[in-house]
Amino acid sequence: MVSPGPAAPPADKPPFTALSEARDSGRARALRLRLILVVVAVCAAVWLSALFDALHDRSATLAEAQRQYDNIAGALAEQAARALQATDLILQQAALLDPDAPDATSERAMVPELLRRHMSGVPQVRNLFLFDPQRQLRLSSASSAGSNPDLSDRTYYIAQRDNPDLGLFMSEPFISRVTGDPTFVLSRRLPGGGDFRGIAGAAVDVGYIRRFYQALELGDGSNVALLRSDGRVLVSRERADLEAGSSPWLDALRVMGTADALHMTLDAPQAGPMRVSLRRVAGYPAVVVVGRSDHAILKEWREKTWTNVLRTFVITALAAVLLIAFLRQLARHERVTAQLHQSQKLEALGTLAGGIAHDFNNVLGAILGYGELAIEHTAAGSSQRRYLDNIVVAANRARELVARILAFSRPGVGSATPLVLQQLLTEVRNLSAASLPARVSVEVQAPPRPLVVAGDPSQLHQMFANLVTNALQAVGASGRVEIRASQVDVETERLCTVGRLRRGPYARVDVIDTGVGMTSAQVERIFDPFFTTKPVGEGTGLGLSLVHGIILDHAAALEVDSRRGTGTRFSVFLPLATGEPAPQPAPLPAPTGNGETILIVDDEESLVQLAEEVLAGLGYEPVGCVGATQALQVFRAAPERFDAVVSDAIMPDMPGTELLAEIRRLRPDIPAILVSGYGGPDLQAQAAGAGVHMILAKPLRAAELGESLAAVLAGRGQRARSASVAEDAAGHAVSSNEGIS
């Protein structure tokens, strides 16, 4: 029994609202994207600048090192030229001391002393000698020259003997038989016409030159060497032993050719790439090599680069932190704005729910009322009685669903009572199985031991019904939905998709379908109000929003596992209760009347007729009026005729509260009952101001209406008896006063 009520807003958002929200969302995304791009561009520019500087510094460091080695090689080549020139000069002077020459001025015994005098100003020369085995000429500046007199197997002797026009010859390094130290020899033929008369030789101290090279501070990984023009190493700063085998500098000498100077990058077997400078010793068959590995050259550059990298990283990290902080602040602002929008949505949804509740309650009222009337006229145990019982059960569930929709914007557990989960799941399965396609099945698997949980039965029924309905819609025309219940013990706390699991026993219910599944992006949004994956017109996006609220209201948790093509699993965790469910009381018959006249007011004629039939069956005399105007006319005609008034809350010509207030002005003692499908604090305040004794929620059952009428009529009788006693007492007092007077 209900009136149309306020006009309900359309289910879909108005185009301008959707467009405005899309525009605002687009602006926020664009702002976030622009900000991210700007910060990324700045960070990229900083890193590119650091990279450019690092590469530029690397090239500059290598180039500067190459110039330094070129200068050092040139200086060492000039020094080697002067040293070799001084050695060659005393060598030529020693050749003139041949005691067997025709114009000799020195005796053989005096030659060693003269040789020592000639070499005294040339520190790199360790031994100055004259040698000719045919003439037994073995004169040397060394005091131990006689220990190894035979030098005829030395290359410098053989070369001079076999090549009359050789001139100055520079030997390979070897261990001197005279001094026992590493040395190489510069030799010339002794003058004497066309016949070979022996050689004059100067043994150069390799250690002396090596110590000179070691005094140069070129850093680790560097190399300094004096080479013969064929690549043979004469002096190496890095190696004290004599190098045998092929020279590591042959490739560089081949590239140098006949040039006087060369710098290049050489691949060393162990050191890797090296910067090498070669400079030819002017006038002599020798080359000075100075080089250092790139790895060693770039040591300071690497340290500087790492410092720059660290500084750049700190700058970019700070920029990233600031960006994240700003984005979090922006997200917080968007979240607050979204909450404001959400509250506005819920407010609009409340208005929508009010209109839906009024319209839906008209249908439910008729279904429930006529169903109960039909049950009274049907034999118990018949198939028709079973069908009618299921209709009434479904109507009562729908009644509770309307009440839950009205409470959507103010969630909360209505009445938490212990209940057996298996019974609830079986009822959900039976209701959902009534309209299943032929190739869709719903199976329930539950343990035999009852799983007792505490909660609002209507809310839990609605939650599982929504999950099963979603699963059935996901499988379409063919598939399987499984409802599995079990007991689990949670040992560690963890967050779920909705809610948080704490340690303790839980009843776990899995709703599993074989549908198409969802993407991760869809899973993140399925609990948002008005979000749906169904086509337009096939879903409102409110079902899982209600599930979300019910889960949180019951301190439960829900986990969602879904992938495209593999179906979806919703796992609900409800804390197990320690109490036992209360037994369902047997339905009591509705209280009957004694012929009292009841004024029935509603703007729906069919509901007025239904109420008249129900009240007549309960022993009342109903008088039905369609609309408030007709009801006022009927009541004004005979106010004392009626024993109670039952009125709808919202009617087009006059609200029920105003009607009842007007009726109680005409007759203040009449009991008044207000019926509404959309209650709330405002309606309760208005009803209290109108003197309403009781407010009932639509749709009404016959028992509820009968109990309410019996209660208000009983209250009126008590008030009438109290008033009669008061009048008798007052009359007795007046009589006493008269007697006294």
- Length, in residues, of the chain: 741
Are 40 and 685 spatial neighbours (Cβ–Cβ below 8 Å)? no
Query: CA neighbours within 13 Å on the CB side: how many for 259?
Result: 12
Contacts of 103 by beta carbon, 8 Å cutoff, 6+ apart:
none
pTM value is 0.49
Kindly report the number of other CB atoms within 10 A of residue 554's CB atom.
22
Listed in order, strand segments (DSSP E) in 576-649 are 597-602, 621-626, 644-648
Per CATH, domain 597-729 is 3.40.50.2300: yes
Domain layout of the chain by residue ranges: 77-297, 414-575, 597-729
Q: What pLDDT is recorded for position 351? A: 65
Bridge-partner residues for 481, per DSSP?
442, 513
**Structure token pair of residue 207:** 């250690």
**Structure token pair of residue 718:** 């008590």
Q: Name the DSSP class of 125.
A: E
Q: Helix (H, G, I), strand (E, B), or coil: what is residue 540?
A: coil
Kindly report the number of other CB atoms within 10 A of residue 424's CB atom.
21
**Structure token pair of residue 392:** 């009434």
d(CA 48, CA 30): 26
Q: Name the DSSP class of 498.
A: B
Q: What pLDDT is recorded for position 485? A: 92
Q: What pLDDT is recorded for position 342? A: 60
Are 446 and 487 spatial neighbours (Cβ–Cβ below 8 Å)? no
d(CA 352, CA 345): 10
**Structure token pair of residue 120:** 């005294």
Mean pLDDT by 10 residues, the chain (741 residues): 38 48 73 88 92 92 91 93 92 86 77 87 89 83 62 89 89 85 91 82 91 88 90 88 75 88 85 89 93 89 92 92 89 76 64 65 71 75 73 71 58 68 86 75 88 86 86 83 91 88 91 85 74 59 76 89 86 86 65 89 87 88 92 91 91 89 90 80 79 82 84 73 51 44 35
Superfamily of domain 414-575: Histidine kinase-like ATPase, C-terminal domain (3.30.565.10)
Q: At 539, which helix (H) or strand (E)?
A: none
Q: What pLDDT is recorded for position 356? A: 66
Instruction: Give me the phi and psi of 695, to 5 degrees please.
Output: -120, 125
d(CA 507, CA 190): 116
Q: At 236, which helix (H) or strand (E)?
A: strand 233-236
Which single residue is written with the structure tokens 């799941």? 425
Are 442 and 429 spatial neighbours (Cβ–Cβ below 8 Å)? yes
Alpha helix (H) residue ranges in 452-580: 457-475, 520-525, 543-553
Bridge-partner residues for 236, per DSSP?
225
Q: At 278, which helix (H) or strand (E)?
A: strand 272-280
d(CA 643, CA 662): 16
Contacts of 733 by beta carbon, 8 Å cutoff, 6+ apart:
none
Q: Considering Cα of 607, then 609, then 614, then 616, what sign does the dihedral take?
A: positive
Bridge-partner residues for 482, per DSSP?
443, 512
Q: Considering Cα of 169, then 171, then 177, then 181, what sign does the dihedral take?
A: positive
Burial class (CB in 10 A: 0-12, 13-18, 19+), 95: buried
Of the candidate CATH numbers 3.60.21.10, 3.30.450.20, 3.30.499.10, 3.40.50.150, the domain formed by 77-297 belongs to 3.30.450.20
The residue type found at 629 is T
Q: What pLDDT is recorded for position 81? A: 93
Kindly report the number of other CB atoms within 10 A of residue 144's CB atom.
12
Q: Helix (H, G, I), strand (E, B), or coil: what is residue 602?
A: strand
Q: Considering Cα of 113, then 117, then 123, then 128, what sign does the dihedral take?
A: negative
Bridge-partner residues for 500, per DSSP?
495
Alpha helix (H) residue ranges in 183-223: 206-214
- Closest CA relative to residue 124, chosen from 211, 196, 50, 192: 211
For the CA atoms of the chain, what is the radius of gyration? 57
3-state helix, strand, coil in the chain (%, to 5): 50, 20, 30
Listed in order, strand segments (DSSP E) in 635-679 are 644-648, 672-676
Are 685 and 651 spatial neighbours (Cβ–Cβ below 8 Å)? no
Query: CA neighbours within 13 Å on the CB side: how many for 138?
Result: 14
Q: Strands 169-170, 174-175: parallel, antiparallel or unpaired by DSSP?
A: unpaired
Q: Give CA separation, 86 vs 127, 653, 689, in Å.
A: 14, 133, 131
